[in-house]
Amino acid sequence: MDEKLDARRTHYFMQVMSRGSVRGAAEVLNMDPSAVSRAIAALERDCGMALFERRGRGVVPTDAGHILARYVKRQQNIQESFFSEIDSLRKAERGHIDLVLGEGFVELMFDRVLPGYWRSHPEVTLDIDVARTSEIVQRIVDDLAYIGLVFQPPNDARLRTHYSRPEPIRAIVRQEHPLTRLQRPLLLTDLVEYPGASMQEGFGVRQHIQAAEISEQVRLRNVLTTSSFKALWQFAATGIGYALTPPIAVTADMAAMRLASLPLANPILNQGSLHVLSRAGRHISPAARELLDHIVRGIGTPADAI
């Protein structure tokens, strides 16, 4: 095995792994697929083992391929950390930050965080990806995003929480809905006779609701499951039924849509919390550090103080 791997070939390898095919990687690299194939073949000779195997119309990494990918990512992290530490000696005026967050945080970011941040950092560019809880965690762990905003992430040693606060799940209904007349925290049995809406599998909110159903031995009648928080409160606004969601996902439109946020009695539904995350051990660039500070201040400020 060649003890020094060609950086160009490992770059092509990572593109093939990401795209799942040589042709897909070639399109991204603006290269002829045969040139990419030759580079991968040369890299396999350097390693002394096959790095990909065919699967359907594409390719998947072998065990050796997975080992190489981890090695390349470690090398990239070392280099990134070096340049980030050098950059920390300079003023954080430029840079690019990848964020991943739940849809319920989008409006909050644009209302409370990003205007102030961009006023002081006009040259910093952002990429905001919207995903479900499991995807957010994976992208943070894989270094595909610097910062994540998520409801109730798993307890994972690879994650670092910069800020968290309680965020109970509520029943969102029209102000004239019969549930508003109960004047007390709702039991899940109170909801059974009404149609409901909830997030799909893979969201922390849905996992809490399912645990609460088990604890009360109740099965809620969901007529809508969705990946969109906005769809939940649009459903509630129709007056058809209720939506179960943290109130942070229902912001300025709540009063305009004549929605009410009703507390729930089940302790599980009151144990949720929102988290601002990064990968544990990852160096945070100055620009990202200042964005983190803006996010924490924005989320920690009551809505009526904005």
Q: What are phi and psi of 260, to 5 degrees?
A: -120, 145
Is-above-0.75 flag for pTM?
Answer: no
- Residue 256 burial by Cβ neighbours in a 10 Å radius (0-12, 13-18, 19+): exposed
The C-alpha atoms of residue 219 and residue 161 are separated, in whole angstroms, by: 33
- pLDDT category at 179 given cuts 50, 70, 90 is very high
For the cut 70, the answer to whether the pLDDT of residue 303 exceeds it is no
pLDDT score for 250: 58
Percent of the chain topping pLDDT 70: 92
Question: Which of 175-189, 247-261, 277-291 ranks highest by mean pLDDT?
Answer: 175-189
Q: For residue range 221-272, what is the model confidence (pLDDT) as tens digits? A: 999 999 888 889 889 999 999 999 987 765 556 666 788 999 999 999 998 8
The C-alpha atoms of residue 49 and residue 26 are separated, in whole angstroms, by: 22
pLDDT score for 304: 38
pLDDT score for 306: 32
Domains delineated in the chain? 7-84 (1.10.10.10), 88-166+273-305 (3.40.190.10), 170-270 (3.40.190.10)
User: How would DSSP label each residue in 1-42?
Assistant: --SS--HHHHHHHHHHHHHSSHHHHHHHHTS-HHHHHHHHHH
Query: Is 252 within 8 Å of 106 (Cβ atoms)?
Result: no
